[in-house]
Structure 1
Amino acid sequence: MTAPDTTLAPRRFRPNPVAALFVLVGVAILAVLGTWQVQRLQWKSDLIRKIESRTDAPPVPLPAVVEDPESWDYRPVLVTGRFLHDKELYLGPRTLTPPRGPKQAGFHVLTPFARDDGSGILLVDRGFVPNDRRDPGTRAEGQVQGTVTIQGIARVPQGRAWMQPENRPAENFWFAYDLPAMAAATGLPGFDPLVMQAGPAENPGGLPVGGQTLVQIKNDHLSYAITWYGLALTLAIFFIVASYRRA
């Protein structure tokens, strides 16, 4: 009688055609997602450099007519005119964080600003006010009167995000900018296409708290790209290893 052959057959690359197709599609999708994140990384890096270069520039007078609002976004500007305090609006909810003050909840005061050259009305985000100081009578010192020159950061107002609640004009409470609706709520003919975020100079009485412009922009696209490319490589390696089988 002949003894059975117990020698194991060598492993060979024997991929399953159906599995190979699915893995190929999966790797391609993951690679595309990784490449997209690399492109987003470049875009975000360019954006951060542009914002930093603009915010570090010296303030300049805001022109009477702004033909290209995007070119003025994040630029320090100077404007002369007077506040229309009786028409202020409230943008919230917002949080004050150190070092501008102790952490607390509230909103931002938006005040129309009539420019002294008669060119229009600029909406100014004067800064943070806590919830219990919404009544202007509780912060009368900060209601600056007369003609003044103010400095701040010009911004292109961002509209409502898809997850944000609807604005409540009847309550004069706004979750996002809507310049036409805001103008209608104040009874004014309209606002300039830019808004100004007031600088850090302290107002009389300490309110509103200016200097609320945020320039810290997250740039996590490199980690996202590494994640997608890593998943693509892992899937490919797993498939190759699993496809080495004995005959």
Structure 2
Amino acid sequence: MKNKLSFSIFVYFFILVFLALGTWQIIRLNWKLDLINSIDQSLKSDPVEFNGSNPINYKKIKFEGILDNSKIIYLYSLNEKGEPGFDIVNPVSINNKSYLINRGWVPKDFKSKKHVSNESKFEGVLKLKSKFNYFKPDNDVNKNYWFTLKDEDLLTYTGKEFSPFIINNISKQEGIYPQSKQIGANISNNHLKYALTWFSLAVSIFLIYLYFRKKNY
């Protein structure tokens, strides 16, 4: 009798754990949906004046800045069609604050061409730099062939430290290179799948428990 009670407690404990994990994923799901909706609304809104202070992720901005064309960075990237090329990234000074602006994408064979810009007024979207990916190749700073915007390499190449926020240019340039990249709320949202997994495990264990209980009690 004691062994049966201990077994029941053991089973119910794990069922409660799985139910708690499933409930937590539902909470995370609602939070993620609110976050994605907030980002979508921000991207649809009009740009606000930006002076270089208090950057906010996915905020649409407009600003005046000074591009450093002597330190253009060629960041390997694919366009929306999956074609290889480079994002043209410039250091830009906004009220003496150093940022990087991704001016857009060019085909791979355009690397040999000059991509100097004398623009000083921009519209863009602030976005936190991607986390460092250990599976990407190292940057070849000497050849100006980049795979990641690694802080140490940026300091070596430009002699500057930059904000962790990248400005993605969103000015419409149909048919003109560099082409602005589409910016969206590219945030993974697998919480519903995880929640269903945990709830399914809880139900499965409970059904198996009932089967063995009916068979052995």
What range describes the TM-score normalised by the shorter chain of this pair?
Answer: 0.7 to 0.9
> What is the percentage of aligned positions where both structures have the same residue?
26
Aligned to 1:128: 105
Aligned to 1:106: 85
1:217 correspondence with 2:187 = yes
1:53-85 CA distances to partner (integer Å, 9 max, x unpaired)?
Answer: 221221122114x1x33xx21111112234222
Q: CA RMSD in A?
A: 2.9
1:57–1:75: 8 Å Cα contact kept in structure 2? no
**In the alignment, residue 230 of structure 1 is paired with which amino acid?**
S
1:127–1:212: 8 Å Cα contact kept in structure 2? no
Distance 1:208 1:90 in 2: 11
Distance 1:62 1:239 in 2: 61
1:158 correspondence with 2:130 = yes
Aligned to 2:38: 50
For these two proteins, the number of residue pairs brought into alignment is 217
Secondary structure of 1:245's counterpart equals helix
1:92-114 CA distances to partner (integer Å, 9 max, x unpaired)?
Answer: 3x2212xxxx4412232211123
Distance 1:43 1:133 in 2: 42
Aligned to 2:51: 63
1:144 correspondence with 2:121 = no
1:35–1:225: 8 Å Cα contact kept in structure 2? yes
Distance 1:109 1:190 in 2: 18
2:40–2:184: 8 Å Cα contact kept in structure 1? no
Aligned to 2:74: 90
1:240 correspondence with 2:216 = no
Moved more, 215-224 or 36-45: 215-224
Q: Structure 1's 170 and 36: CA in aligned 2 closer, same or farther, altered over 3 A?
A: farther
**In the alignment, residue 242 of structure 1 is paired with which amino acid?**
F
Between Structure 1 and Structure 2, whose CA radius of gyration is higher? 1
TM-score by length of 1: 0.74
| Unmatched tracts of structure 1, length 5 or more | 1-14
Q: Structure 1's 234 and 106: CA in aligned 2 closer, same or farther, altered over 3 A?
A: same
1:75 correspondence with 2:41 = no
